[in-house]
Structure 1
Amino acid sequence: MTKRRHTPSTSKVRRRELGFKRKGDGRHQERIRRPDPCRIHIEPTEKNLTGVAGLAPFGAFIRELGVDAALSRSFSRLKTGRSVVYPMAAQMRLLMDSALAGEERVFGIEALAVDPLFVRLAGGVVPSIDTVYRDLCRFDEESLEALHRMVVDHGLALVARRKHRFVHIDVDTTVEPLFGTQEGALPGPNPRYHGRPSYHPILARIAEADAIVGAKLRPGDTSFGEADVPFVEECIDRARAAAPSAVIYVRIDGAGDCSALMHAVAVKGCFFLTKARMSPDLVGMVAHATGWRTIDRDADGRPRRQVTEVPFRRSDWPDGVRVIAVRTRDRENGKQIYLWEGLDYTVQVFLTNEPVEAPEDVAARYDLRAGIEPLIGDVKHGWGCGRVPSHSFNANHAALLLKLLTANLMRRYVLEHVPHLASWRTPWLRRALILVPGRLARSSRGTKLHVPERSQLARWLN
């Protein structure tokens, strides 16, 4: 007889990682009693308490990586002259610290300006938000490209940590609904706010490292297509430089059924994997396809999932495109089509130029592309990439890239120092590593930052 094992509570596991120590053996038998908060006296006597103690070790980490020096080299030209009080590199680091602390907008700097550690890292004086807004508007195309290169370089550094046999580049777009008159805010594809002006950024990640290796802010009326071929080609070139011996796959959703894109990927010596555009001629071929092979059955032995290769080709496709149809009885996510009356099947069709992989393995490889969705959700809601700070399109593009740069640096920070937390998303990482209470103590020997002994930050520092 198998003994039943109880799954540990996730809340307790993370509570322990965040430094909470349970009483005794973890079982508290006595009935608790909440104290009267009116009997707790508050005295505003401490001036050196901080709520973002994690900014200090993170700042030391990225300084060792050369990030501060790179920002100074690349962006000091945007603000020159003897009268400059807030250098451009310092302003960019200020915005990165603000994003680390969980502030999604420039206005959040006002709240952080009362924190002594944040002020000290800002150079002793936090600028007015009007100054920060003006500095964001200084970005031009050259500086945006330099900032994008920094995002990519730190994403590829995560890929280069170890050798990879396969590298999967996932490309996807997302929608940022806007409620103002920002430059470039135009109506376009918007599944939630129909007709709402928006931005339509495009992102690329390498799945093996869950790292962002490409990003571009685009007006809301921009769809994915032939104009994005150079973006995909650049992503391929960067991935090959980081993993020269790896086999590269490019995975895109239904928008990837674009002849120019498929030709570009094939010319680069890579494999594409995408959903097919369900045109009437393709639907007809799938409906009359034969040779369905069962790869999974239900408890009653009935076919539950079947695959077949369809002899279909469009005239503008490159040579060697395989059309793989998968029909299933499961109610899965994504758009699926009913084609057979009396059969409870829905079908999905995939395209690839990979010549030998089994059809079911092609479908399974495409399904792993779903990992980009939580990453996009994390950068939008964990890093505030869905918020735009300015009327200027370039300023909003710069703010997006700064947040993505911070996200890649945080990923490197976690893998370097606390790899056992690598599966956590940004809100939990922020609680464990950044939003840590502390006290600044200054003396003739320098400045010390005291943090709680049981915090995650203190444990790995020790």
Structure 2
Amino acid sequence: MQFKHAPAAVSVSFDDPNLVSAAGLVPVMRLAERAGLRELANTWLTVPTDKGANAGLKVASLVGGMVAGADSIDDMALLRHGGMRKLFAKLYAPSTLGSFLRAFTFGHVRQLDAVASRFLANLSEAAPVLGGGAGDGWVFVDVDDTIIEVHGHQKQGAGFGYSGVRGLNALIATAETTVSAPVILAQRLRRGGAGSPRGAAQLVRDSLATLRRLPGTRAARVLLRADSAFYGHATISAALRAGVAVSVTARMDPAIKRAIATIADDAWEAIQYTDAIYDEDTRRWISSAQVAEVPFTAFTSRKKAEQIAGRLVVRRIPELNKKDLDHPTLFDMHRFHAFFTTSTLDTVTADKTHRGHAIIEQVNADLKHSALAHLPSGVFNANAAWLVLAVIAFNLTRAAATIAGTGLAKATTATIRRKLISVPARIASSARRITLHLPDRWPWETAWTALFDHVGGSPPPAPTI
């Protein structure tokens, strides 16, 4: 690529009132309207009227800004450029939207949680966000938390968590099938120093209640996956009471080690990883391992009625950093990774399925590269509401990509935005109709048109002679 003109031959002028930089907001916000975002917010939110008037329109504005790439309150100004007023009504100033968020209490954030849950259910009616069903019969629900770094001393609740980074802690639950990308079922913002399992049991209950609202999942088998931070009675029992199986990494405590020591040498079965794993400790790639299982009862320190029977599935790899010992023990010769499960999957499949929990890390990264790049307010509840709105925007973007097809359903939010949302357009009006003139030879024209037509796009006007 080479610039064709001399610098002096090109001038610029920000003066065209008919241009928009994100024409993809037209079909996406139509989709949000069809899924009832504005009506749900008006129904559920009771933010005081001096700040919360037209709550549905303000929620839609915040979500629309996030879909277009906003990661701060000031960025909401991108909705007020060029011809946006010809396409959308009630384009609020960033200061108005900031005041709206700061008026939220904890109760209002929980009301917004209810909006997000029901909005996802409505989206699932309009787009097969979980692939139209459970695929092979399983829906996988993953729970994890992540630290969102913040700066300055005015952030309520900020603190140093397990990562050593000063920030706030976001706990999320996702759902996916073997044929779909993840969507987010539930979310919660917590203070930075909160332990990972804090509030996880309630989040599990909320996420499973949301899941059962989605079409094609009511009769599906559900498996809850989590890492060792969530290996606790409260979280696991909450899942079991909801009728789902669990697959949770177990900490290598003495009880787990005793169970592993009972596994016979001939019980180990070879397993080949689909992708090699880089071991940070030995700085080597590991591509194979062995797995075995043993019956196991978790939480034996509790009364018998609260103990949970299941299986301990164990994966072992050779210890490459071996110690020079005359009589090495079992744990000197191998490294073990164990998880507790109540599923009926066979040993190898259970291990492979549990490793799929890592996908939720990609969701965390996706959020942090879009609306959660910042938590924009000094007020904790405003940031908690921002997290819920970011989740709504994530699910809306995912639904739009699913409708557009051409492999976009599993793309990152940044890719979807680049191909479907951030499309420049010029607005032309004729006979009380608006035509969007989009770039010639846009590489993703087919996908954009599929989305536009799906949400009720009008045919182009007939040419005049």
TM-score, reference length from structure 1: 0.79
For residues 166-315 of structure 1, the aligned pairs below 5 Å read 166-180=138-152, 181-190=154-163, 194=164, 196-208=165-177, 209=180, 210-225=182-197, 227-242=199-214, 243-287=217-261, 289-291=263-265, 292-296=267-271, 304-310=288-294, 313=297, 314-315=299-300
The answer to whether the aligner puts 1:321 opposite 2:287 as a matched pair is no
Query: For residues 226 and 284 of structure 1, what CA distance do their matches in structure 2 show?
Result: 28
Q: Which residue of 2 aligns with 1:392?
A: 379
Q: 1:347 aligns with which of 330, 333, 336?
A: 336
Q: Which residue of 2 aligns with 1:57?
A: 27
How has the CA–CA distance of structure 1 residues 245 and 36 changed in structure 2, closer, same or farther, with 3 Å as cutoff?
same
Query: For residues 342 and 146 of structure 1, what CA distance do their matches in structure 2 show?
Result: 52
Matched length: 409
Query: For residues 7 and 114 of structure 2, what CA distance do their matches in structure 1 show?
Result: 55
Query: For residues 163 and 296 of structure 1, what CA distance do their matches in structure 2 show?
Result: 26
Q: 1:360 aligns with which of 320, 325, 348?
A: 348
Q: Secondary structure at the match of 1:97?
A: helix
1:119: how far off?
Answer: 4.2
- Post-superposition Cα deviations, 1:298-355, rounded to whole Å, max 9, x if no partner, equal 9xxxx95222234654413634221122112499xxxxxx964774x3211111123x
Unpaired runs of 5+ residues, structure 1, are 1-31, 332-337
1:430: how far off?
Answer: 0.6
Identify which range, 241-250 or 401-410, moves more after superposition: 241-250
Q: 1:131 aligns with which of 96, 110, 114?
A: 96
The answer to whether the aligner puts 1:145 opposite 2:99 as a matched pair is no
Query: For residues 331 and 246 of structure 2, what CA distance do their matches in structure 1 show?
Result: 32
Q: Secondary structure at the match of 2:132?
A: coil
Query: For residues 244 and 124 of structure 1, what CA distance do their matches in structure 2 show?
Result: 38
Asked whether the equivalents of residues 61 and 91 of structure 2 are also in contact (C-alpha less than 8 Å), the reply is: no
2:39 alignment partner AA: A
Q: Which residue of 2 aligns with 1:8?
A: none
The answer to whether the aligner puts 1:100 opposite 2:72 as a matched pair is no
Q: 2:43 aligns with which of 73, 78, 95?
A: 73
1:110: how far off?
Answer: 3.6
1:34: how far off?
Answer: 4.7
- Post-superposition Cα deviations, 1:34-64, rounded to whole Å, max 9, x if no partner, equal 5234264325363322211111222222222
How has the CA–CA distance of structure 1 residues 123 and 46 changed in structure 2, closer, same or farther, with 3 Å as cutoff?
same
Q: Secondary structure at the match of 1:176?
A: strand
Asked whether the equivalents of residues 41 and 115 of structure 2 are also in contact (C-alpha less than 8 Å), the reply is: no
Q: Which residue of 2 aligns with 1:29?
A: none
Aligned-residue CA RMSD in angstroms? 3.0
Q: Which residue of 2 aligns with 1:418?
A: 405
Asked whether the equivalents of residues 178 and 199 of structure 1 are also in contact (C-alpha less than 8 Å), the reply is: yes
Asked whether the equivalents of residues 44 and 115 of structure 2 are also in contact (C-alpha less than 8 Å), the reply is: no
For residues 4-15 of structure 1, the aligned pairs below 5 Å read none
1:117 alignment partner AA: G
How has the CA–CA distance of structure 1 residues 110 and 251 changed in structure 2, closer, same or farther, with 3 Å as cutoff?
same
Unpaired runs of 5+ residues, structure 2, are 274-286, 321-327, 454-465
How has the CA–CA distance of structure 1 residues 359 and 107 changed in structure 2, closer, same or farther, with 3 Å as cutoff?
same
Asked whether the equivalents of residues 200 and 230 of structure 2 are also in contact (C-alpha less than 8 Å), the reply is: no
How has the CA–CA distance of structure 1 residues 51 and 346 changed in structure 2, closer, same or farther, with 3 Å as cutoff?
same
1:226: how far off?
Answer: 6.3
Q: Which residue of 1 aligns with 2:388?
A: 401
Q: Which residue of 1 aligns with 2:278?
A: none
- Post-superposition Cα deviations, 1:66-90, rounded to whole Å, max 9, x if no partner, equal 2233333334x43537xx8973322
TM-score, reference length from structure 2: 0.79
Q: Which residue of 1 aligns with 2:55?
A: 88
Structure with greater strand percent: 2
Query: For residues 218 and 326 of structure 1, what CA distance do their matches in structure 2 show?
Result: 33
Q: Which residue of 2 aligns with 1:27?
A: none
Asked whether the equivalents of residues 287 and 339 of structure 1 are also in contact (C-alpha less than 8 Å), the reply is: no
How has the CA–CA distance of structure 1 residues 99 and 294 changed in structure 2, closer, same or farther, with 3 Å as cutoff?
same
